[in-house]
Amino acid sequence: MDMQATLIGSPVSQIHGPEKVTGRMRFAADVDIPGMLWGKILRSPHPHARIRRIDASAAWNVPGVKAVVTGQDAPGHLMGKVLRDMPVLCWERVRYIGDRVAAVAAETPEAAEEALLRIDVDYEVLPAVFDPMEAMRPHAPLLHDDVASYAGAPLNVLAKDVHNGQTRLTWAKGDVVEGFRQSDVILEHSFSVPSRHQGYLEPFTSVLSIDNDGRIQAWCSSKAPFRARLQLAQALGLRDEHIRVNVVSVGGDFGGKGDARDLPVAYLLAKMAQRPVKIVLSYWEELTASNPTHPTVVTIRSGVTRDGCLTAREVRTVHASGAYGAMKPRSFLSTSHYVGGGYRVPNTSFEFLQVYTNTTPGGYFRAPGAHQYTFALECHTDLLARELGMDPAAFRRMNLVGPGEEDAVGRPLRVADVRQVLEAALEAGRWGEPKAGPGRGKGVAIFGRQIGGGAAGAVFTAEADGTFTVLSPTVDVGTGTHTIEQQIVATEMGVPLSWVRVRQGDTDSTPFDEGPRASRVTYTEGQAVMKACAQMRQAIQDGANLPLT
């Protein structure tokens, strides 16, 4: 239809644009509930220590303090997205600078801060390890005695034989020994990539209130409200249907806001004080105690013939998981879609390890783990080309995996045409032409990425006046998700954009949704909206009365 040509793929105004530029958009830190207290968290100053004693009695002497809770008051509560190995509040041992030990709720932020200063913690400082390669050595301090004992432990991929090992993923293809025997040149390089924070503008905020009937009302900066609800319930032994996560806008994500963060701490404080509690992280806390990327060491060994054909490759990637594995949706990094790369290699061996270290727990950041590995792989590829005296683009052309061929882990390439993409990039970058001037350079690299799947849904209503309303379970983290839904509905139902309203739902009013991740939302949420439109069109054609949901 003509409407389709004008709406899908065309620039339109974002639904939330006016609210954002005028400051009317509501974020978690803007939530204000009568009687609300300010929560603050006491964090470990040591990377590794045993807690001998916590004396919080003096904190109660600060005027305005209404709740003080320590890990020793509420021991045994562990949290995580899947692997629950991270204490809500530490009661026995701390494992990184920033680990949560105690929390206070008070009438003002200043009173809460003062109360934290009066909590006396007696630590026995223990040896610490920060480098993942050092952490695997037998003499390194052991951070977790039995990873398999934690709820959610991925037993089939645990690296039990590795000192401080968390998980191991492996792939192999062909005969790597024979592949190296066939090569004329063998090069090995190691690359070290530091941690990076996602850099979102909004620090994480957690707000929690307990209704008179015991029902929990929560607001937080999480892009995944249903998963935040589940994590809160599991951490404290609650029933998730007793929790409502009220969705507010999220000020940037980039993979770093898919968890419940401090909601369990807010619950403990709110339960003690019998008043709502708000915890807003400072940027110091964000940078030291959130979930940045994993520091990574990648070692790649490749064999090639003199004419430039890859014959074998061995890769060992070691991620410093940090003190806990709790911040990863699968307990490990989703590496399977990029390990094979864009190259045809007949004989391979890949090992991806995650290792506990006394550093900030690692999480997700746009293609988690992929950037560290791809940086190393493509640098290694340039060095191979240099050793052979070949142009970097020509070397890549020679070894590109083609349609129907297997990548380096044995998966056939079914969709992407890597060669077409590479040639288009080289043409656009004027590869082979002189550099534009001093300080200008050119490089080429290849990276493949898939989109995610998973559960999605929508509540779709045809109103009596002929307009349409979408109640979306998916949080728009600034990428225009709700605007895309508006465009789809307008296109599918043949109406102007102004006839379509998209509203944000919560965990009570909408079906389960996994939240934005892996570039999946347009595909998954879009499919759900299109299916709802098809059902609505049929119902209207059959003479259904409006409004109809």
pLDDT tens digits for range 327-347: 987 777 777 677 887 899 999
Whose tokens are 């297997």? That residue is 406
Report CA 186 to chain centroid distance, whole Å: 36
Choice among 70-84, 291-305, 363-377 with the minimum mean pLDDT = 363-377
Measure the CA–CA gap between 7 and 498, rounded to whole angstroms. Answer: 12
Contact (CB, 8 A) for 222 and 258: yes
Instruction: Please report the pLDDT score of residue 549 as a whole number.
Output: 85
Choice among 74-88, 292-306, 505-519 with the minimum mean pLDDT = 505-519
Biggest alpha carbon–alpha carbon distance for the chain: 78
E strand map for 253-343: 277-280, 296-304, 310-322
Q: Is the pLDDT of residue 350 over 90?
A: yes
Nearest Cα residue to 150 out of 74, 82, 232, 73: 82
* Mean pLDDT, range 458-482, rounded to an integer: 90
Whose tokens are 């899908």? That residue is 8
How many CB atoms neighbour CB 531 within 10 A?
Answer: 15
Nearest Cα residue to 343 out of 294, 299, 295, 392: 392
pLDDT tens digits for range 493-510: 999 999 999 999 999 999
Strand order in the sheet with 310-322: 165-173, 348-356, 310-322, 296-304, 185-193
Contacts of 20 (CB under 8 A, 6+ apart): none
- What does the block give as tokens for 125? 């400082």
Measure the CA–CA gap between 335 and 167, rounded to whole angstroms. Answer: 12
Hey, which CATH number is domain 2-24+453-541, 3.40.190.10, 3.30.2020.10, 3.30.365.10, 1.10.1840.10? 3.30.365.10
Residue 119 DSSP label:
-
pLDDT tens digits for range 395-450: 999 999 888 888 888 888 776 788 898 999 999 999 988 888 888 888 999 887 77
The domain limits of the chain are 2-24+453-541, 30-127+199-289, 147-197+292-428
Alpha helices in 351-417 (DSSP H): 370-388, 392-399
Measure the CA–CA gap between 471 and 474, rounded to whole angstroms. Answer: 9
Q: Return the higher-pLDDT residue of 517 and 398.
A: 398
> Phi then psi for 457, rounded to 5 degrees?
-170, 180
Average pLDDT, the chain: 92
Whose tokens are 């390194």? That residue is 140
Q: Which amino acid, residue 395?
A: F
pLDDT tens digits for range 28-43: 999 999 999 999 999 9
pLDDT tens digits for range 111-120: 999 999 999 9
pTM strictly above 0.85: yes
Whose tokens are 């102004």? That residue is 498
Q: What percent of the chain has pLDDT over 70?
A: 98
Q: Return the higher-pLDDT residue of 106 and 256.
A: 106
Q: Which amino acid, residue 138?
A: P
Q: Is the pLDDT of residue 2 over 70?
A: no
The number of CA neighbours under 13 Å toward the Cβ of 178 is: 5
pLDDT tens digits for range 60-77: 999 999 999 999 888 999
Contact (CB, 8 A) for 81 and 222: no
Contact (CB, 8 A) for 363 and 329: no
User: Would you identify the CATH topology of the domain 147-197+292-428?
Assistant: Aldehyde Oxidoreductase; domain 4 (3.30.365)
E strand map for 71-164: 78-79, 86-87, 93-94, 100-106, 120-125
Strand partners, 301: 188, 314
Residue 397 DSSP label:
H
Nearest Cα residue to 409 out of 317, 316, 313, 310: 313
Residue 249 DSSP label:
B
Instruction: Please report the pLDDT score of residue 6 as a whole number.
Output: 63
Instruction: Please report the pLDDT score of residue 319 as a whole number.
Output: 94
Instruction: Please report the pLDDT score of residue 454 as a whole number.
Output: 80
Matching fold, domains 2-24+453-541 and 30-127+199-289: no
Residue 417 DSSP label:
-
CATH of span 30-127+199-289: 3.90.1170.50
